[in-house]
Structure 1
Amino acid sequence: MSISDSLQRSTWLGPVLGATISIILGLFCFDSIMPVTEALRHKSYDLSFHLRPRIIPEEAVLVYMDDASYQEFNPGYTRWDRALHAKLLDRLTSEGAKIVVFDIIFSEANGENPEADAAFEAAIERNGNVILGADYVTAGSSYSMKQAEMLLPPYEPFEFAAASTGFVQLHEDTDFMVRRHYHSGSLNPEITSMTWESAMWSESPYIESRESASGREAQQAWVNYYAEPRSLPSVSYSQAVAEDQLPEGFFRDKIVLIGANIRTGESTQRKDEFRNPFVDWEYVSQTDRFMPGVEVHATILLNLVRGDWLRRVPLSYQAVLFTLTGLVFGLGIGRIRPLVAISVTLLSMALVIGLSQWLFQQHRYWFPWLIIVIVQIPAAMLWSITFNAARLYVQRQLLRQSLNLYLSPRLVKAFLNQKNRNFLKPGAEKQEVTILFSDIAGFTTATEGMDSDKLARSMNAYFQRMVENGIHPQDGTVIKFIGDSIFALWNAPEPQKDHALRACNAALALDQQSFEFSKDHPIKTRIGIHTGVANVGNFGSNNRVDYTAIGENINLASRIEGLNKYLRTNILISAETREKAGEGLKAVRYLGQFRLSGFGKKIGIYELLQTNNAFSSSQKLQQDFNVAMARHDQGNMLSAMELFSSILKECPDDGPCQFYLKRCQDIHSKPTESIDPTLIVIEEK
């Protein structure tokens, strides 16, 4: 079976291929590590926050070591005076802060000011709920299999005084956004994060033990951002250490995190800042786009304290999901029309976005829904449009080939440009048409003994010439080839005001075509034309229809064509055709009233002549013939015979004169019979 046949016959081929493509693309984007597919997964996470209301938790307060504090206490942007930290800690202790978390590395003693170190150590010990940050390093080479993970703890007196210690490093993605919780070392599970230690110390009901930091639940935790950068409750370090800047009890029962929030400075190194999903697609200043590292820590810590971290749908479920969505959208969109497919695509996208937001907001689950919205659904739609366009193109070409068998090239083009293709649908309607029938005179004799292959080639060549040189130039519709006959119509399926004249001109062109099956057998085409009402349309069974015309006028046209055999003429037309054709016909002669086999009514018959015919070029012969016909109709057979005989002397091969001369002789020889001379009855078909 050819590709075009497959496109035409299989209603499921396109949808199945579309589903396959959609599934493959979905699973590829789900599993691939390419930057573009990774970006799709990341943006699915990021954009989910844009449709969710902002949340401002009250459990924590951030103390920012900001530019104002640096200008007041550390204008050189060097090491801070630890006595200030001691002062801040004492205030937090006196106000009853729940825990205090320093997002600062105190890795060594301050040799220039040991008194400040001692004051800070004492303040840590007095508070009893201080969590300090430590450096987390991986030493060795992965190639040598001698890697080791370790914490570089704070200055030893501070570490002993603190409630606990954890690493401060955050697990950022390539776009500088922290999306996942990262609470334990991959090689040493006993190493935990500062936020995990802080959550344990705050007695969060969602944290079981230090060992659970490396458990499955913690490993699958994703950061649940609450709002834009710098949205969590915060104060400046300078405000916190001042006695009159904040109301009394401001820090009571709060988790306090202390860290840097520098927007300016002389350091050329990258600041401790990260991207935030809420402003990722919004226009904000460069300084407001990033979230301070301490606020990221605070967000993760609040996730652990509140138990509202995010979870990603398990990977196995995602693989099943992308397979099902590819199957559903590929099969569904692939079976509908392009315009409807676009509407269904938009509706499907909205449905997937709605489902993802419901999971995100109500159950805190997320999955890479953009793979479905941007890849799978559009791929299914584009494939549907492409496949249907290809199928439409094939249908159009097949239709063109089919119409070329019936219509002229001009009509084919006109039909293909029509939006209304009702002529292809089953059914028929009554309309006036001009019908042409032709056949080959002496066909049996001319083809007797001829090889079947040669006969087929000869007939095909004959039909080709007749159609191309006669029927199609006059925009006729070839209904069918019947043996050696041609059945053609005008005024259907395309309306034509001059359909009768077109059919007559086509007949004259057919009559001029010379053709022979062999040198000894030149052939002559006989043609009959009639104009009348017929049922025109598609007739047939449920599985096959033919465009054709039926009715008594079709049969009458066939009988008129057969009348040529009796009158020894080439082209006969009915009186109805003569009237419809009007003055456009240059050479015709009236041949009388005939009652043809199978018809009760009589019909006027005219012969259509070439303008260069000997008879049509002689006005005298035409006048003599008309007078002879009048004498015949009056019953004056002797006078009619004399005139017909006179004409035959000049045109010995004139068929109508021979026919009427014999008829006059027959009537004259039987004077006792009652015969209507004006009506000629043909009993045979």
Structure 2
Amino acid sequence: MVFRLPGLVRRVAVRAGVAKVRAVALRLPGLVRRVAGRAGVAKARAVALRLPGLVTRLAEAPRALAGLAIIGIFLLHPLTDFGKSTFTLLPKLEGLAYDARLKLTLPNTGDPQVVIIDIDEASLQRMGRWPWSRDKVAKLTTQLFERYGVRAVGFDILFAEPDLSSGIAVLDNLREGELKTNPAFAAALARLRPRLDFDARFADAIRGRPVVLANAFPVEAETQGVLPPPLFAEADIAGKLIRIDPEHGFVSALPALTEAAAGSGHVDPFYDPDNQVRRVPMVKRYGAGYFPALSLAVVQTVVEAKRVTPHFDSERTLDALDVGGLAVPVDEYGMALIPFRGKSKTFRFVPAADVLDGSLPQNAFPGAIALIGTSAKGLKDLRPTPLDPDFAGVEIHANLIAGMLNGELKSIPARANAIEALVMIPAGLLALFALPYRRPLLNALGVVTFAAIVIGLNFVLWIRWSYVIPVSTTLLMLAVLFAWNMLAGFLREGAAIRKLSTMFGEYVPPERVAQMRESGERFSMEGDSRELTVLFCDVRDFTALSEKLAPRELSAMLNAYLTTMTELIHEHRHGTIDKYVGDSIMAFWGAPEPNPEHARGAVEAALAMQARMPKLARDFVRRGWPAFRIGIGVNTGTMSIGDMGSKFRKAYTVLGDAVNLASRLEALTKEYGVGIIVGENTARTMPDYAWREIDRVRVVGKATPVTIYEPMGPAASSQVAAELASHRRALASYRERDFEVAEAGFAELAAAHPSTALYAYFRTRCALYRSSPPPSAWEGAMVFATK
């Protein structure tokens, strides 16, 4: 039944009454089809009464068709990539569902393995405002190891700037300036330097000890400090899939500190669409390397793991990190769910001032992991979480460290989407065929029962196997099915509005249809003649490319390509899709809604389509599909437009010589080695653009040569302007039959711009004309005798 949903959705959207019964009958055995087609609804129902109850309900209750459509629509969510959350309703609801499960299963106890050394408000009052000098931080570190017996220390603090609080920089300036000739001063400064170089004192305090420092990867493409060696590199995971976007910059500790520390990890939070922190990226990618989170680096140091190895599932997708035999479950984006043990300060918090002044009992934290961070609001390291809007970032690391060491991290299985779909299908079908035939009270009771079963099953997976399976989509689907059965009558309102949507919905984007509804009488599919701009786009060598792919792969690739291109056409001044012919796209601007900037919209869309192709090609290669190039032809002129076709099938389309010329121009892109060719009428309407004149051509069906251009953008740099000027001079010599000068000009351009195939093309043509000159009546136009 699931595989029939698309057809059912279409029928529900556009038909009523008898048509619905016949649409259903098409899915039934041949006997029912013949009865429905020959004798109408009555006989169809009579036959249906002899079939199983499911068929009877489909024939008698058109609401079931819409119910199937609802199930199909909701199934789209789990059957797409789990992906990073977006600001939509379902991810937010799923966050709330996750929070409910989390709160119901909290242990509400800390873990003695981890203690938090808190630079709190009281410590700041006693020891001075932040930042503290590094000699004080060095003393804090030494105290933790030598007096209190900690096992390891992790800093949730960045040490990216040198500490100049001792005044050593001022003394160095004096030594190099006013007191340069004073040997006594230089000698005294040399004796004092070890005591005044606080960064060196901090480095000495952490050297040889299990101390992990912090780093971060800000959005700015700047680097500060030095990163430790990566956990693993791109070369180590060749052929495997990790969906982690590369970072562009980093902030890390000073080189001397990084070299002295046992490790370093990032402290960047990750915010879900509702601005809550539930997950942490356990690895981040910079350059060719992958770098750990602070919690992961601390665990690696504690268990003395020499390596952290990524683990991949049967589909070669990241699903865990192996830390010295300790499995850390992550998703394909390297994210780990935070195993919260309770609300804020569930872990033991100890004021940093108490550690510094030695007021705590000796060996107060034997064998513990000490995390040094802050809960002070002024230091801005509080994060919004499902448990507390001001949750100390350092305690997030504590929860992760304890969870990794205890094996308590929840995981999202690679097939979570399939599991959710397997729950949704029977739940939806049961609700669909039970709800329409019960009273409202029983309907509500049925929905609650189904929801309770779904929630119970989900909790079993959560508690027994630590699996996080999405549940909000299923629950919302049940609620929508209930609402649909209670409010089905209201869905038939607005027939006139739907008519306009039916007329133009498949040609223009939905938001444009919505605007057109406000003045629907202005728009018609009647035949008309007006100036428009048309665009043809075609995939280069598509036949050879299609032979490399299985039919399903080819279909998926084409759908992804056509969807991207269509979105760009819609985005740029509301282009209208005329048709898809295999891999080809035909679109036009200026109808059904008048648009005086129709030429500009088409050119802007063409440039955007070509600009998007490199990114699309990289995505295709990652998915195992071949990369390809496209050619685009654009032309402006008077065209006939309207609803054209036969009584069996019609389409809103454009016809005319200007349309045919645009198709010919697209075909010439391969000949000239350019991505876009624009007709002279189009270029003439956009004098503010920079254009490279390509040639004068006479194509099939045109007796008069036309000049064709390549758009270079709305403005040309001085280098591009100079290039275009050289091209114009060479082209002028070519048309004046001075082929030797023209060839030299094009050769110079080809050498300077080897990626521009057009120059090499004309250099070859000039060489040919030097040996075999064109006839005396030659007009400087190239004749193309084939389409």
User: Normalization by structure 2: what TM-score?
Assistant: 0.43
Larger radius of gyration: 1
Q: Which has the higher contact order (CA 8 A, sep 6+)?
A: 1
User: Normalization by structure 1: what TM-score?
Assistant: 0.49
